[in-house]
Chain A
C-alpha cells in the first residue's frame, strides 16, 4: 500500500473540484425559482444536456458511431434499456470492424 503525497494532493484536488461542480447546481436555485421564460429554460435543461453529450459522439466521431447510434435509437423505441444499449455496443464493434 503506497501513497505518494503529490498523487494524494491531485486526488484531493479532483474530489474537491468534482464536489464543487455538483454543489454549484444549488446556487443556480435562484434561477430556477423564477416563473415564465426562466422556468421554460430550466425545464429544457435535461434534454439539452443529454443532446449536448450525445450529438458530438454520434455525429462527429465517425460513420460507425453514427450508424450505431441510429440503431440504438430504433432499438430504444422497442426494446428494454439494457437490450437497446447492448445492441448499440454490439453494432459499434461490428461497424468499426467493417468501416474501420
Chain B
C-alpha cells in the first residue's frame, strides 16, 4: 500500500518533464490576453476559472470589443469537448474516489492528468494523490504564468517562430505511445485520424477532435461486433 505522499511524488515526477509546455503556453495566453485588451487581472482570472489552454487561446482569437460572449463560449465548448470524452474515460478508473475527490478530478481535468492516468491505469490503480501531483503544479503554473505573460506583455510576438505551438502536439504523440501495444489500436487510430483530418479540412473548426474520436470509437465497436460474430460461428 503506497502512501498519499508517495503517490503525489509519483505524479509530480511524471509531470515535471512536460511542465515546460504549460510554462510557455500560459505565458503566451497572458501576452495574447493583454494584446486583445484584457487587463492583467482579467487575464489571470480567466486562467484561474477556465483552466483550459486551447479553449482560452481559441476564445481569444474570436475576442472582439464589445465581447461576443456567446461566440467565446462556443469556442470554449468546441475545443474542450474532448474533456467530456476524457472525463467519461477516466472516471471509470476513479470510481473508488470519494465524491469530492471525483468532482475535483473531473472539474480540473487536463490533457496530461487524463493521459497519465490512463497510462498508469494500464499497470496499477490510479489514486487521487497521484492525479493531484499532476494537476496542482500545472494549475499553479497556469495561473502565475498567465499573470507573468500579461505583465511582460508582448515579448513573444510569434509563438510559431519558437515552435511553441508544436510542443502540445509533441506531448500528445509521446502520450499516445503506450496505447500502440494494445490489440486493435491501429484500425482505431486510422479511423479517428482520417476522419479528424477530413472534418478539419471540411471546416469543422475545433469540433474535428470530437468527430474524429467518435469515428475511432465506432471502429472499435464494429471490430468487437465482428469478433463476437466470429466467435459464434464454428
Chain B binds chain A? yes
By a beta-carbon cutoff of 8 Å, the part of chain A in contact with chain B is: 1-4, 6-26, 28-29, 31-32, 36-60, 65, 68-69, 72-73, 76-77, 80-82, 84-86, 88-90, 92-93, 96
> In the complex, are the beta carbons of A10 and B69 less than 8 A apart?
yes
Inter-chain contacts of B18 with A (CB < 8 A):
81-82, 85
Q: Does B83 belong to the interface (CB within 8 Å)?
A: yes
Q: Top 9 nearest A-B pairs by Cβ distance?
A: A25-B87, A48-B216, A52-B212, A44-B220, A82-B17, A55-B193, A40-B224, A28-B88, A88-B170
CB proximity of A39 to chain B, nearest CB, Å = 8
Q: B87 is contacted by which of A22, A53, A73 (Cβ under 8 Å)?
A: A22
Q: Is B140's CB within 8 Å of the partner chain A?
A: no
The smallest C-beta distance from A91 to any residue of chain B, in angstroms, reads: 8
Binding site for A on B (CB under 8 A): 17-18, 20-21, 38-39, 41-42, 45-46, 49-52, 55-56, 59, 63, 66-67, 69-70, 72-74, 76-77, 80-92, 106-109, 114-115, 118, 160-164, 166-167, 169-177, 179-180, 182, 184-185, 188-189, 191-197, 200-201, 208-221, 223-225, 228
Summarize A's interface: helix, strand, loop or mixed: helix
Q: Which of A28, A51, A77 contacts B216 (CB 8 A)?
A: A51
- A to B contact number (C-beta, < 8 Å): 296
- Which label, helix, strand, loop or mixed, suits the secondary structure of the B interface? helix
Whole-angstrom CA separation of A60 from B218 in the bound complex: 23
- Structural contact, A54 and B176, CB atoms closer than 8 A: yes
- Complex CA distance for A9 and B180, rounded to whole angstroms: 43
* Contact for A15 among B38, B50, B106, B175, CB less than 8 A: B50
Residues of A within 8 A of B163 (CB): 89-90, 92-93, 96
Contact of A47 with B91 in the complex, beta carbons under 8 Å: no
